[in-house]
Structure formats: structure tokens, C-alpha cells
Amino acid sequence: MAKMLLQPEYKRDNGDGMVWEWCDEVVDDSEIGTWIKIATAKKAQVKYNGDKYYKIVTVTAKQQAAIKRELQILKGLLLGYNK
């Protein structure tokens, strides 16, 4: 399994004993290949590194399909199908 590094800036909020983390970022052209590899891999895992802990999660087939759809939309936009 190939290892790739993406480092988005996460925002954090909490309440009722829960913590929420999220990020909204523009995907850089240099990262498209990484997303293609995640979307088309037989098995893809993501490792989240925190200040004190880390967690490894498996990317589900449903998540991979969603990434593929987003990549198809991007391809259409790049080819000028947004008219």
C-alpha cells in the first residue's frame, strides 16, 4: 500500500462531551493524483495524526465512489462541460 501525505488545516469545536473536526480546502493540482489513488485502490486507509493520538480508518467503497464522482465532476469542469 502506497503512503501519501495530505495535511489539511482542521477546525475544531466541542460541546456536550463531543469534539467535531472538519476542514474546507481547495484541492491543489499536485494532490489530484493522491485522490485518484485513494478512489481506485483495492484497499485504502487514512491515518489521522493528532496532537496526542492517531487513528487509522479504512476508506469504504461508498466513500471511494463519492471521491470518484467528485473527480468526474472536476474532469468535466476542466474539459469545459460546465456550459
Looking at every residue in the chain, the average pLDDT score rounds to 87
Q: Where are the alpha helices (DSSP H) in 10-83?
A: 32-40, 61-78
d(CA 69, CA 65): 6
The whole-number pLDDT of residue 2 equals 64
Calculate mean pLDDT across residues 19-38. Answer: 87
* Residue 82 predicted with pLDDT over 90: no
Q: 12, 20 in Cβ contact below 8 A?
A: yes
d(CA 41, CA 15): 36
User: Each residue of 32-56: pLDDT tens digit?
Assistant: 988 999 999 999 999 888 888 899 9
Q: 21, 12 in Cβ contact below 8 A?
A: yes
Q: What percentage of the chain reaches a pLDDT higher than 90?
A: 43
